[in-house]
Amino acid sequence: MIIMKSENKAATMPLTQLLSDLKTSDQGLSEDVAAARLKTVGQNTIHRQKQQSQLLIFLKNFTSLMAILLWVSGIIAMLSGSVELGIAIWAVNIINGVFSYWQEHRAAKATDSLMAMLPTYTRVHRDGKVKQINALDLVPGDVFDLQAGNAVPADARLLEATSVQVDQSALTGETVPESKSVEFTPGEGKYAESNIVYAGTAVGAGTAKAVVIATGMATEFGKIASLTEKQSNLTSPLTLELNRLTKQISIIAMIIGLLFFLTATFFVHYPVNQSFIFALGMIVAFIPEGLLPTVTLSLARGVQKMAKRHALVKDLNSVETLGETTVICSDKTGTLTQNQMTVNHIWVPTGEFTVSGQGFVNNGQVEKDGQPVSKVGTPDLNRLISIAALNNDTQVENNGKLKKPKILGTPTEAALVILCQKAGFDTAAHLKIMPRVKELPFDSRRKMMTTVHREGNQLDIYVKGALSDLLGQCTQIQVNGISREITAADKESIDAANEKYAAQGLRSLAFAYRSIPFKNQTQVDGLEIANAEKQLIFVGLTAMSDPPRPEIYGAVKKCHEAQIKIIMVTGDSQLTAKSIAMQIGLTSDKARVITGAELDTLNDHDLKEALQEEIIFARVAPEQKYKIVSTLQSMGEVVASTGDGVNDAPALKKANIGVAMGVTGTDVAKDAANMILTDDNFASIVAAIEEGRVVYSNLQKFLLYILNSNMPEAVPSALFLFSRGLIPLPLTIMQILTVDLGTDLLPALGLGSEAAEPGVMQQPPRAKTAHLLSKRILWKAFAWYGAIASVISTLAYFFANLQAGWPNRALLSSGVGYSRATTMTLAAIIFCQIAAALNCRTEEESIFKVGIFSNHIIWVGIVVEVLLLMILSYTPVLQSVFHMTPLLGQDWLFLCVIPIPIVLVEEGRKWVQRKRKRS
C-alpha cells in the first residue's frame, strides 16, 4: 500500500488516481481493510521525541543553588574535622535530590496521563455507514467528515467542502484562517494548497468530507512534532513564588548562620572550626529542602483528584486559580441542564399538539388535545415534520426500548429525529425523492440552519432556528397547507405560544420553508445565507424540555455559600433562561435578563453596574461572552467561563479558567480551555473549585508544619550562645539534621493529602493577592506552635539535667548525663511535632470531629518518626554518631504525655475561632 506524502503531489494529482493509489473510494474503506491497515501503519498518533534525558533531569536536582550550598557545606565540615557532619550534610543533599526527582517525576506522570483520558473522535465512512471512531484508529484511505470546531485528525484531501475555513496557526503560526475547497489552488507558502487539510489544524467554519492521505508521524505535523518535545508545564506563579521564597529563606538562613558563627567565636570563645560547624548546622536546618517538589506534587495530586471528579485540568497553574474563582459564567444547555431534549409540544397556526410516548417506536403517538392524530396528520404538521426530519444532521440509533438511544449529532436535532420517528416519517425514502443539494450549517451567531432539497424542477429551502431570528425572515405563513402573507396578528399569536412554552423552561425551535423553481447547478451553488434565508413561509414551532441536572441544585447552593457568583450566559431565549435559572435556585424572579442585542448597546459603566446585581444573559452569541468575561476581570473578579463551540474560544482563552465541555465540546474549545469537563456538568466545576481550595489550604498546612520545627531547632542553640556556653548545647547539630530531614518528612507529606476541611466551601474565595506564606502562617509557625515546642523541649532538657544533678556542670559534660539530656530535647521536639502534625490538619474544625485517625499517612509518619527515634537511641553505632542514649521508662512516659496538652490548647483556640465566626 502506498502512503502518500502530503506534498503537492497529493494535491495536484487527479482525484481518481489518488483514490486508486490509496486503494479506496469516495465511500471510504471497509472495516476489515481499515483494521488491516491499522496493523501495518500503526495508530494515528504523534510520538514526541524526548528532548531532555531523564538522567539530566535527575542531575538537575543536585545542581540547584541550594544543593551546591549543601555540597560545599559538607566539604567544609569534613575539612574542619567533622567528617560525620560532612557525610550527614551530603546525605541530606542526596536524599533531598532523589526525593525531589521522584516527586517531580510523579507530578509529570500524573498530569501527562490525564490527557490520554480525552480521546478525539472522528466521523468516518466505513462499510457504507457513518461511524464515530477514535481518531487514533484512522488510516490512510479512510474517508471522514469535518465540521466547524473539529481538529483535523490527519492530513487529507477534500472530497466535498462547504465554506471551509481552517485555522493553521499550529503549523504556520499564521492566525488568519485559510479558505479550503475541493478545487486545487497552490496558495502562497507551505501548507497553503487549497484542497488539503493538515493534521494539527482546526476547522473554524464550514463542513467537509475528506480522504486521509497520511496519519501519525507521516503527517506534516508529525514531522514537525518529532523535532520538539512539549514538556509538561510544571511551573505556575505558585511555584515561582515558592522558588523565590526558598531563595529568601536560604539567604536568611545564611545570615543567621553567620550571626551564630560570630557569636560562638567571639562571645562564647568556641574554637573557630567548632563555631563553623555549629553555624553550618543552623544553615542546613533552616533551608527548606524538599519544599518545592512537595508543592509541585501536591498540585499534581490535586489535578488527579479533580480528574476523578470529572474535571481535567491542563496545567498546575489552574489548580491554584480555581481556588481563587469568584465568578462562573456558565452556559445553560448541557451544563446546567441534562442536554436530553424531548419535544413536548408542536404549535402550528391551526392548533397545538402534545407529544407523548415513552418509547422510541414508530407508533405515531403525536396527539392533538389528548387524541392521537393519524400518521398523515394535518398539512401544516406534515410540513413541520418533514423540515424537522430533512433539515437534520443527527443520527439516532435505537438500542431497544430499554436502552438509551445512541446519538450521533446534537441532542436538539436528536429530539427532532425521535419526533419524526413517532410521527412515522420515513426520512430515508423522502431523501431519495428530494435529496439534499446544499446545506448552510447551523451557527450559534445567526441561530439558524438551512438545507436545500431538489424534487424534480423544484428546490425546497428548509430552515429551522431560533424564533427571534427566524420570524424576522418570514413574509408568509402556511395555514392549512395554504400560504398567505403573515400579519401582525399572526406574529402575536406565534409570540404568545412561544412565551407560554418559554415560561415553562421549554426551548422552542421555529420552522419555515420556501420553494423556488430549479434552474441549474450554478443557481444552487449561489444559494447563500443572504439570499436563501429570506422571504420564508412560517410553518410552526416545537417546544422541547431539557430538565436540569439533578446535581445542579446542590452545586448552585454550594457556590452561593462559597460566595461564588454564577452568571448564566446562554444562546437560548430570555424567558426560557430565566425560568430555568429560577427553577435551579440560581436567581430570584428579580434577576435582570440582558439579551445579546442589549449587551451590544450597553456601555462599560452600565455593564459593570448590571454585573453587580443578579443577572442572566440570554440570546447571546458566543463572541459576546468575551465582553462579559473581560468586564468582570476589569472589576477584579477571577472568572471561570464555560464554552463548547469554535466561537467560544476567545472567551475561554480570556477567562482565568476556561472550561470546555468534554462530551459535546468541539476540539477547538477544548484546545483553548484550561480545564475540560468529562461529563459536561456544572457540578464538576464546583467540585474542581473545591479541590483547588483544598490543595491550597493543605499547602499552607504543610508549610506551617515544616516551618514550626525551626524554632525548637534554633532556640536550644540560642540558649547555649546567650548563656556564653554556660548551658551546654541542648541539641547537637546531628540531632538538628535528624529532625530536619529524618523525622519531619513523612507527617508533612500526610498533610498534603488531608481531606477537605468542613467549611472550605463556606468561605469567600481567596484574594488574588494572598500569599501562600501569609503573615498569619508565619506567626502561627514561630510564635505559637514553634514557641510551644521550644518551651517544652527546653523543659525536657532541664528536666533531664535536674535529674542528673544540675547545676553540676562537670556532671553534665561528662557523657551519659549530657547525652540523655540532648536525647530528651530531641525526643521532646519529635513529640511536639506529633502534636503539631495533628494540630495542622485543621484550621478551625476540631480534629476529633474530622476523625483523629482519618488521615492514615500522618499516622504512618508518626509511627516511623518514633521508630526512628528508638533506632537512633538504642543502636550502639548510631548512638555515638547522633550523641544519643537509651531513654528510661519515665522519660517515655513524659514524652507520651507531651502531645496531649498541646493538642488540647490548640483545640481550645479552634473552638474560640469557631465561636467568634458564628457570632
The residues annotated as belonging to the active site are 331
For position 684 contacting ligand ATP by CB under 6 A, the verdict is no
Cell numbers for 886: 537509651
Cell numbers for 528: 447563500
CB 332, min distance to ligand ATP, A: 3
Contact residue for ligand ATP among 301, 305, 383, 447 (CB under 6 A): 447
- With b for 16 or more beta-carbon neighbours within 10 A and e for fewer, the 199-234 pattern comes to bbbbbbbbbbbbbbbbbbbbbbbbeebeeeeeebeb
Q: 465 vs 786, which CB is nearer to ligand ATP?
A: 465
Q: Compute φ and ψ for 389, nearest 5 degrees.
A: -80, -40
Positions 566 through 605 that interact with ligand ATP (CB under 6 A)? 570-572
Positions 29 through 68 that interact with ligand ATP (CB under 6 A)? none
For position 546 contacting ligand ATP by CB under 6 A, the verdict is no
**Contact present, 687 and 311 (Cβ < 8 Å):** yes
Residues 6+ positions from 237 with CB-CB distance below 8 Å: 317, 320
159: closest CA among 29, 18, 30? Answer: 18
Q: 73 vs 450, which CB is nearer to ligand ATP?
A: 450
CB 572, min distance to ligand ATP, A: 4
For position 413 contacting ligand ATP by CB under 6 A, the verdict is yes
For position 410 contacting ligand ATP by CB under 6 A, the verdict is yes
Contact residue for ligand ATP among 103, 412, 542, 743 (CB under 6 A): 412
CA 78, 82, 86, 91 dihedral sign is positive
Contact residue for ligand ATP among 123, 126, 180, 464 (CB under 6 A): 464
For position 442 contacting ligand ATP by CB under 6 A, the verdict is yes
Q: 570 vs 822, which CB is nearer to ligand ATP?
A: 570
- With b for 16 or more beta-carbon neighbours within 10 A and e for fewer, the 484-513 pattern comes to eebeeebeeebeebbebbbebbbbbbbbbb
CB 93, min distance to ligand ATP, A: 55
Q: How many CB atoms lie under 10 A from the CB of residue 675? A: 28
Contact residue for ligand ATP among 41, 213, 292, 448 (CB under 6 A): 448
CB 852, min distance to ligand ATP, A: 46
Cell numbers for 138: 484512522
Q: Among the candidate windows 459-467, 513-521, 628-636, 654-662, which touches ligand ATP by CB under 6 A?
A: 459-467
The answer for 253, left when phi > 0, alpha when psi is -120 to 50, beta otherwise, is: alpha
CB 503, min distance to ligand ATP, A: 15
682: closest CA among 561, 550, 545? Answer: 550
For position 754 contacting ligand ATP by CB under 6 A, the verdict is no
CB 504, min distance to ligand ATP, A: 15
C-beta nearest to ligand ATP: residue: 571
CA 676, 680, 684, 689 dihedral sign is positive
Q: Among the candidate windows 185-193, 307-315, 442-450, 649-657, which touches ligand ATP by CB under 6 A?
A: 442-450
Q: 546 vs 757, which CB is nearer to ligand ATP?
A: 546
Contact residue for ligand ATP among 157, 507, 627, 883 (CB under 6 A): 507
Residues 6+ positions from 254 with CB-CB distance below 8 Å: 283
Residue type, 3: I
Burial of residue 405, with CB atoms counted within 10 A of its CB: 0-12 exposed, 13-18 middle, 19 or more buried? middle
- Residue 340: enclosing H or E segment and its boundaries? none
Q: Among the candidate windows 68-76, 343-351, 409-417, 815-823, which touches ligand ATP by CB under 6 A?
A: 409-417
Contact residue for ligand ATP among 70, 381, 466, 616 (CB under 6 A): 466
Q: 420 vs 837, which CB is nearer to ligand ATP?
A: 420
Q: Among the candidate windows 154-162, 232-240, 381-389, 441-449, which touches ligand ATP by CB under 6 A?
A: 441-449
Q: 209 vs 507, which CB is nearer to ligand ATP?
A: 507
DSSP letters, 195-247, are TEE-TT-EEEEEEEEEEEEE-GGGSHHHHHHTT---------HHHHHHHHHHH
DSSP letters, 682-742, are HHHHHHHHHHHHHHHHHHHHHHHHHHHTHHHHHHHHHHHHHTTTSS--SS-HHHHHIIIII
Contact residue for ligand ATP among 200, 465, 596, 752 (CB under 6 A): 465
Contact residue for ligand ATP among 155, 320, 331, 891 (CB under 6 A): 331
For position 395 contacting ligand ATP by CB under 6 A, the verdict is no
Q: Compute φ and ψ for 524, nearest 5 degrees.
A: -65, -45
The answer for 23, left when phi > 0, alpha when psi is -120 to 50, beta otherwise, is: left
CB 394, min distance to ligand ATP, A: 8
Q: Compute φ and ψ for 11, nearest 5 degrees.
A: -80, -35
CB 149, min distance to ligand ATP, A: 12
- With b for 16 or more beta-carbon neighbours within 10 A and e for fewer, the 436-460 pattern comes to ebbbbbbbbebbbbbbbbbeeeebb
Q: 360 vs 442, which CB is nearer to ligand ATP?
A: 442
572: closest CA among 617, 602, 623, 626? Answer: 617
For position 438 contacting ligand ATP by CB under 6 A, the verdict is no
Cell numbers for 810: 562537670
CB 832, min distance to ligand ATP, A: 55
For position 789 contacting ligand ATP by CB under 6 A, the verdict is no
Q: 246 vs 468, which CB is nearer to ligand ATP?
A: 468
Q: How many of the chain's residues bind ligand ATP (CB under 6 A)?
A: 19
Q: Among the candidate windows 258-266, 328-336, 486-494, 869-877, which touches ligand ATP by CB under 6 A?
A: 328-336
Contact residue for ligand ATP among 333, 674, 698, 801 (CB under 6 A): 333
CB 28, min distance to ligand ATP, A: 25
Residues 6+ positions from 467 with CB-CB distance below 8 Å: 494, 495, 498, 508, 509, 510, 541, 573
Q: 392 vs 708, which CB is nearer to ligand ATP?
A: 392
**Contact present, 8 and 221 (Cβ < 8 Å):** no
**Residue position matching grid coordinates 485559510:** 178
Q: 133 vs 651, which CB is nearer to ligand ATP?
A: 651
**Residue position matching grid coordinates 553567620:** 258
The angle at the Cα of 632, spanning 629 to 633, to the nearest 5 degrees, equals 85
CB 324, min distance to ligand ATP, A: 25
Q: 236 vs 573, which CB is nearer to ligand ATP?
A: 573
The answer for 216, left when phi > 0, alpha when psi is -120 to 50, beta otherwise, is: left
For position 338 contacting ligand ATP by CB under 6 A, the verdict is no
Q: Among the candidate windows 65-73, 188-196, 408-416, 553-561, which touches ligand ATP by CB under 6 A?
A: 408-416
CB 148, min distance to ligand ATP, A: 12
Q: 618 vs 751, which CB is nearer to ligand ATP?
A: 618
Contact residue for ligand ATP among 414, 509, 677, 827 (CB under 6 A): 509
For position 540 contacting ligand ATP by CB under 6 A, the verdict is no
Contact residue for ligand ATP among 209, 314, 332, 422 (CB under 6 A): 332
Q: 570 vs 738, which CB is nearer to ligand ATP?
A: 570
For position 449 contacting ligand ATP by CB under 6 A, the verdict is yes
**Contact present, 743 and 868 (Cβ < 8 Å):** yes
Please give the Cα distance from 569 to 787 (Å, whole number).
52
Query: Which positions touch ligand ATP (CB under 6 A)?
Result: 331-333, 410, 412-413, 442, 444, 447-449, 464-466, 507, 509, 570-572
